[in-house]
Amino acid sequence: MLVISDQDIIKAVEPIELISAIEKAYIIQDKASTNIPNRMHLNNDENTLLVMPGFIESIFGTKLVSLFPKNAEENKPVLNGIMVLNDARTGEPLAMINGNKLTAMRTGAVGATAVKYLSPFTAQTLGIIGAGVQAYHQALIISTQRPFRKLIICDKNLSKAEVVKDNLENRLEDIEIVVTVNPNELVIDSDVIVTATSSNEPVFDVDTEKLSNKTFIGIGSYKPDMQEIQLSVYQKTEKVYVDTLHAKEECGDIKIPLDKGLIKEENIIPFSSVLTSGKLPEESSIKVFKSVGMSLFDLTVAELIYNNAKEKDLGQEVKI
């Protein structure tokens, strides 16, 4: 079995390949050979274990993710994970992959894929609210999709925004990076806004007249009581795109506006339909894309990482 570390993953894959793996996931999402159950949430007090299995034609696997919110107080990652990838023909384990890096890279690519299809080609400013592990990867991969000239990073804890800025500065040399504690100013000044926090309440509150033509990418909310996007945004947008329709039950960013009648069920659209129909939303409208994540993304990205690692002689073969 090949053990693939976070450093191996960095060396193995390019952003453009990650985005292609996410597009592949959307295209095979409804195929009969794709077998992806809803992920299991096992809650234990404030902590959560997510069990994410799935089969695609060429491979199957399981990602185990733990979310321990109090880790942040000890400066440890809130999210930890591991992915086991198996041969679809024999069931034999092929690889064990660092799940933290896999999750962050594939989620960055999910955000970037939404930007690729939904945001105006002229988008120049990217704003990210929540300066954690996801923020860094969202910035890195989304920035490949539009000619961004400025990146604004906001966190309620400014020092966290400073850390992400420092880490990105030598990776995004052509982009001016600024930090702020004011999410409303960030939203007004940005064309694409990514929310990547662990918040239970909307993280901004802006006059909706100032939101036209903006693209919102919701990453954080993964439980019914978690929210990031201001509710009035939903009154201004006709359709809301989701990576999986399971988002309707799973996350407050979809469930709460749905329960309040702010969006109609038929206007919650699987993002895969954008790829399969080729129909893009109107240029001037506010676009909302909400990701809760799904094991299908992990599988297509893990397969890419595994194949590239083998080709580039990365990782460590271990006999178990």
**123, 203, 286, 305: residue in contact with ligand NAD (rule CB under 6 A):** 203
- Nearest-CB residue for ligand NAD: 132
For ligand NAD, what does the binding mask look like between residues 91 and 130, x meaning CB under 6 A? ------------x---x---------------------xx
Q: Phi, psi at residue 131, to the nearest 5°?
A: -105, 65
Nearest distance in Å: CB 50, ligand NAD: 9
Instruction: List the interface residues with ligand NAD, window 211-250 (CB under 6 A).
Output: 219-220, 222
* Binding flag, residue 295, ligand NAD (CB under 6 A): no
How many C-beta neighbours within 10 Å does residue 100 have?
17
Round to whole Å and give the CA distance between 20 and 18: 5
* Binding flag, residue 309, ligand NAD (CB under 6 A): no
C-alpha angle with apex 226: 128 to 268, nearest 5 degrees? 80
For helices 295-311 and 99-118, give the axis angle rounded to 10 degrees.
Answer: 110
**Alpha carbon 310 to chain centroid distance?**
26
**Alpha carbon 285 to chain centroid distance?**
22
* Residue among 261, 258, 264 at smallest CA distance from 224: 258
For ligand NAD, what does the binding mask look like between residues 250 and 289, x meaning CB under 6 A? ----------------------------------------
* Binding flag, residue 21, ligand NAD (CB under 6 A): no
Q: List contacts with ligand NAD (CB under 6 A).
A: 67, 72, 78-79, 103, 107, 129-135, 154-157, 160, 183, 196-199, 203, 219-220, 222, 291-293
